[in-house]
Structure 1
Amino acid sequence: MLDFMEHVQTAFYQASHWDVDNSYGTLNATARALLDFQTPRGLRLQISSLAAPNFATSYTLGSVGVVDGSVSYLYSSLPLTREFRTSNLDLHHVIRGYRHVQELRRPDEDWWWEIWHGGKRIDRRDTLLYGRIFLPQSTLEALYLRRLSPTRQLKVTAVSDSSLKNGGTILALLQGDFGKYSTEYMYSTDSGLLGFRGLYNFGPDPRVAPTVSVHDVGERAHGRFSAGAELYYGVLNKSGGISTGLRFTTLPNHAGFPYTMTLTLNPLMGNLSSTYSVKAGSNLALCSRLDFNFYSYESDLQFGCELWRRRNHGDVEWAIKKLRPDWKRPSAARDDDVSGILKARVDNKWRIGVLWEGRIKELLFTVGASLDLKKREQIFRAVGIELQYSS
């Protein structure tokens, strides 16, 4: 589940018309949401507030062996109007689940952002500032996010920690979203890392207005094929890397069940990964991932699922009925009456992860556990619960 500040940042992306899915970095977002979810450790409580449409605060207290916590503040020059109170927010905004990739959006024209008054331009670019300090270790992290134009944004993250080399690190990303394709230039002070990412979407170009006819409406594409690559090089340690990936995903106008397939390859390391995710019903999603290294011939296989729970149903009733696909209802439609989600994963080494996320009255909760069935002396690797309240 997203914490409060992550939720605010996603709201900023939406309000500023930034498509987070049109990026090489989110190529495997669906599989990661279904298979790579983090199970909590110990007890953690978070209390947050959007004091004004432009300002948010959050306080976290945890207990994993020792008592720790954090204090964070966020400022957005763009007023955020999404509902953030835990009693009223849409759970789909804070729970990572199957990602329905939307139609590509035509980027705004530059002049749409211009605001003139008395013959002078008075518009400013939207900016988000975020800072967080962890106690008692006094680690500090910060984020600077600025929309430079309708197609570009600058993202700078920094971490200050005495345990890191040179006392901290800074990562700068110059991101571009042009609808048909996206780019990302990266620089990190860690090893002087330089990098580039790119993603290209095959099919219609959203920047070009199509000639619409009755025949064209019936022949609209129901899926999208995307291809991308990543290249990076460390100036200080003289080492680099490269990866490439493919994705096919159905679009909201697809009549059948939504699904996503990806294939990624890192030729230098010899890693090959393929995933298949399917929304088998309005409440059920399934995912599988196969990782293979063609140098060592080692492989890993994972399976995962998520099951949404609706309100006003008994535990036994929803567990049985929601396993049956509801074909009468569009699979990609938003469900307003959900109260929680159950996630589970297992791999070929019998490592299991279980997560239950939802809302009780005024609180969001996350309960989870990770198990290793091959270690009989200590099957439970981690057990925890997290509680969130925001106003």
Structure 2
Amino acid sequence: MDYVQNAFYDASNWNLENSYSQLTATARALLEFETPRGFGLSVSSLSSPNFATSYAIGSVGLVDGSLSYLYSSLPLRPASQSANIELEDVIRGYRQIQELRKHKHSWEWEQWHAGKRIDKRDTLLYGRLYLPQSTLEALYLRRLTPTQQFKLSAVSDGRLRNGGTILALHQYDVGKYCAESLYSTDGGLVGIRGLYNFGPDPRKGITEPPRTEDRFYGRFSAGAEVYYGSLNKSGGVSFGGRFATLPAHNGTPLTATLTLNPLMGNISTTYAVKAGRNLALCSKFDFNVYSYESDLMLGCELWRMKAKAEKIRVRSMAAKLEWRLDEIEKKPISEPEQVLGVLKARVDQNWKIGLLWEGKVKELLFTLGSSIDMKRTDQPFRAIGLELQYSS
């Protein structure tokens, strides 16, 4: 369902990366990945360009599962069959920050017929029911203008306070900067956050600077968020910055972030680098100026690639004399390459290790992972899991 939702963002020309909440997305993908527990199986289908379903079953303790349904007023046509889905489109890993896109003007969305506007705003509806807990989560997403989007998410569960919670989020993105306002019924939380990108303004047209071998092509972004809980009378504030290289950079791609929470005294830094064509490394360091406590985490991901074979017909001298062709020979070529899988690993200062292997077998997508605690010599393997996904 995340894959289909991302297809909605792409089809509606919405930049999901240009948000303060996505400031450390690369580091989270490399270090904070979830390892499966037990066995899980999900079967999904994009039955039409506007409707998708997914059914999942798991075995963590008791047998559990979920039912998911998604509707999009905007026709979506991504590769839906698991055999044809590219792994780099569904596996979250190191992502290269792209150039900022210029949004359309509001009048470019207008459609008129017989003197009346007939255009409609793109909408996405999503619901998921967890069994046997009977927990329900829902999502309502609506594009208001080329630069505005409204998102309403809700969770209904009797174990939560007031039986559930609702989160409303309004996003305003012009490329150069993005501003968001939110409200949550959980504690009466209200907040605002924003992200500003230094450099060229896409509204005025992006002119790519002349390419030179020694130039460092990148973008620096800075943002902040402020929130306040009206019911519990508490608030918070944070600041953050990110530098990431752009596709025009000829050197090693890298992403570095710094976030500060002055009220709690937390400082967090991350550094991710594409060390090789198929290798990415990441580190994260947290420090609290009040307690002097610190945390260190290291991680990496290694992509396994396979060069596609190219069929070439050749003719030997004997074949030429007999006026025939020899058998088809297959020779490997370097481009394009096929992704076979990715191995992720992380370790922190307490020697807690996370391992994850994601790949494809025939028409099944699989995720195999384990959590290991090296200090628990009696039982180091804390969790082992396997998840299988099939989509038609």
Give TM-score scaled by structure 1 length: 0.91
Deviations 1:296-321 (A, max 9, x none): 000011110000001369xxxxxxxx
- From 208, 211, 218, the equivalent of 1:218 is 211
Match of 2:144 in 1: 148
Q: 1:341 is aligned with what amino acid? A: V
Q: Aligned partners of 1:129 and 1:246: how far apart in 2? A: 33
Give the match for residue 243 of structure 2.
Answer: 248
Q: Tell me which amino acid in the other structure corresponds to 2:121.
A: R
1:57-96 mapped onto 2 (5 Å cutoff): 57-96=53-92
Aligned to 2:230: 235
Shift of 1:84: 1.5
- The CA distance in 2 between the partners of 1:283 and 1:390, in whole Å, is 26
TM-superposed deviation, 1:221: 7.1
* Cα separation, 2, equivalents of 1:71 and 1:242: 37
* Distance (whole Å) between structure 2 residues aligned to residue 338 and residue 185 of structure 1: 39
Output the CA distance in 2 between the equivalents of 1:221 and 1:103.
15
Provide the identity percentage: 67
Cα 1:269–1:86, aligned 2, differ >3 Å: closer, same or farther? same
2:199 matched to 1:197?
no
Distance 1:151 1:209 in 2: 16
Once the two structures are TM-superposed, the CA of residue 112 in structure 1 deviates from its matched residue by: 1.3
- Aligned residue identity for 1:55: F
Q: Which residue of 2 aligns with 1:302?
A: 297
Distance 2:269 2:78 in 1: 36
CA contact (8 A) 2:306 2:337 kept: no
Name the amino acid aligned to 1:284: L
2:306 and 2:365 mapped to 1: Cα distance?
15
TM-score, normalised by the number of residues in structure 2: 0.91
Q: Give the corresponding residue for 1:385.
A: 386
| Residues 90 and 336 in structure 1, CA contact (< 8 A), matched pair in contact too | no
Q: Secondary structure at the match of 1:311?
A: strand
> Any residues of structure 2 matched to 1:102-181 within 5 Å, and which?
102-181=98-177
Q: What is the CA distance between 1:247 and its match in structure 2?
A: 0.3
Match of 1:370 in 2: 371
Residue equivalent to 2:349: 348
Residues 118 and 290 of structure 1: CA distance in aligned 2, closer, same or farther (over 3 Å): same
Give the RMSD, CA atoms, in angstroms.
1.5
Pick the structure with greater CA Rg.
2
2:292 is paired with a residue of what secondary structure? coil
Verify the 8 A CA contact 2:73 2:122 in the aligned structure 1. Answer: yes
Cα deviations by residue, 1:336-355 (Å, 9 ceiling, x for unpaired): 51111000000111000000
Runs of 4+ in 1 over 6 A off after TM superposition: none
Q: Which position in structure 1 is the counterpart of 2:317?
A: none
Once residues 107 and 251 of structure 2 are traced to their aligned partners in structure 1, the CA distance between those partners, rounded to angstroms, is 40
Counterparts of 2:259 and 2:3, CA distance in 1: 28
2:269 is matched with: 274
Structure 2 distance, partners of 1:186, 1:381, is 37
Partner SS for 1:163: coil
* C-alpha contact (below 8 Å) 2:127/2:136 kept by paired residues: yes
CA distance in 2 between partners of 1:22 and 1:336 (Å): 29
Matched residue, 2:40? 44
The 1:52/1:336 distance shift into structure 2, 3 A limit, reads farther
Which residue, out of 6, 9, 13, partners 2:9?
Answer: 13
Which letter maps to 1:361? K
Q: Which amino acid aligns with 1:233?
A: Y
1:218-256 Cα deviation digits (max 9, x unpaired): 379710000000110000000000000010000001001
**One-letter amino acid of the structure 2 residue matched with residue 62 of structure 1:** G
1:325-384 superposed Cα distances (whole Å, 9 cap, x missing partner): xxxx9xxxx965111100000011100000000100000000000101011122111110
Q: Which amino acid aligns with 1:64?
A: V
The reply on whether 1:287 has 2:287 as its aligned counterpart is: no
Report if aligned partners of 1:180, 1:206 keep a CA contact under 8 Å in 2: yes
Partner in structure 2 of residue 325 of structure 1: none
Q: What amino acid does structure 2 have at the position aligned with 1:291?
A: D
Distance 2:104 2:216 in 1: 23
Report what 1:326 is aligned to.
Answer: none
Deviations 1:149-182 (A, max 9, x none): 0001000000000000000000000011110000
Q: How many residues get paired?
A: 365
Instruction: Rate the CA distance shift 1:164–1:6 in 2: closer, same or farther, 3 A.
Output: same
Contact 1:11 / 1:82 at 8 angstroms: preserved in 2? yes
Q: Check whether the contact 2:172–2:180 (CA below 8 A) recurs between aligned residues.
A: yes
| Secondary structure in 1 matching 2:18 | coil
Which sections of structure 2, spanning at least 5 residues, go unmatched? 309-333
Q: What SS does structure 2 have at the residue aligned with 1:179?
A: coil
Contact 2:102/2:205 (<8 A) preserved:
no
